[in-house]
Amino acid sequence: MPNLTSNPIETLARLGYGARGVVYGLVGGLALLAAIGSGGQTGGSRSALQTLLAQPFGRVWLFLIALGLFGFCTWRIVEALTDADRRGSDLKGWAIRGAHLISGVIYAGLAVSALSLALGQGAGGGENRAAQDWTAWLMSKPFGLWLVGLIGAAIAATGLAFAWKAWRGDVAAHLSLPADKREWIVSLGRMGFAARGVVFVIIGGFLALAALHSSSAEVQGLGGALRTLQQQPYGWVLLALTAMGLFAFGLYGLVQARYRHIDAPDLDDAKAAVAQMKP
């Protein structure tokens, strides 16, 4: 269970890490079932959330997940604007904080989708349609093809960074772990970051192809990345390994909800820090 505190921002952050973990766990679990031929699906986050509708209390779970994802969005934005994680103001620090700010916006969109499903309003055209729509819009702007290509390269580079973190990085850097749990939690983290690295590289590749061919139809999200793996030689093995990694990252998210070190500012400090950044 998340370690809820009197600081509302920390509480939102912990609920957010837990909600993100549940989403990744759903995506990974469903993809693993698809890989071994036991049903399931190779869909993205929105598709995974939609499967909850058929479960007991599914709308309640969706509402709680939406609440958690809004909390994660809030934490990402506060973290980026106030440097709550002490990333620093050098180029690397600003790059990480910028990525977290973008992450906050993305998870806000996923939270809206979850809430829409919980309220019985559907989830729009899905993640691929949304990605293709914004790609088409961006391509219609001056230098749009170059921007799409650069975004694809940035996403692929993020995937490579995740892969590096899985191999050599300290996946427990922000976790306050009991000694007897550290080894298996680190293993979960490494599996999770490796799987995220694979899918981010593929998603970035889709965007690069879209820019190269001037076609937004090339763009695919997480579900498209998983289906691409499934279509390769021995694809069921590749999909199963990646799915297990995504499921592991889901469990790692629940660990973050409990054990992550969160030095969250109080509401007044956060407002002051944001105000200082205004011109």
Nearest to 223 by CA among 13, 21, 26: 26
User: What are the structural domain ranges in the chain?
Assistant: 8-276
236 contacts: CB under 8 Å, gap ≥ 6: 35, 36, 37, 230
pLDDT above 60: residue 84: yes
pLDDT above 70: residue 90: yes
Residue range 14-23, pLDDT digits in tens: 999 999 999 9
pLDDT bucket at 263, cuts 50 / 70 / 90: confident
Burial class (CB in 10 A: 0-12, 13-18, 19+), 229: buried
Residue range 181-229, pLDDT digits in tens: 999 999 999 999 999 999 999 999 999 999 999 999 999 999 999 999 9
Residue range 96-123, pLDDT digits in tens: 999 999 999 999 999 999 999 999 886 5
Where does residue 228 fall: left (phi above 0), alpha (psi -120 to 50 degrees), or beta otherwise? alpha
Provide the token pair at 85.
């994680």
Instruction: Evaluate if pTM is beyond 0.85.
Output: yes
Backbone angles phi, psi at 175, to 5 degrees: -110, 140
Q: What is the distance between the alpha carbons of residues 239 and 106, in angstroms, rounded to a whole number?
A: 24
Q: CA 209, 190, 192: angle at the middle one, nearest 5?
A: 55
- The SS3 assignment for 182 reads helix
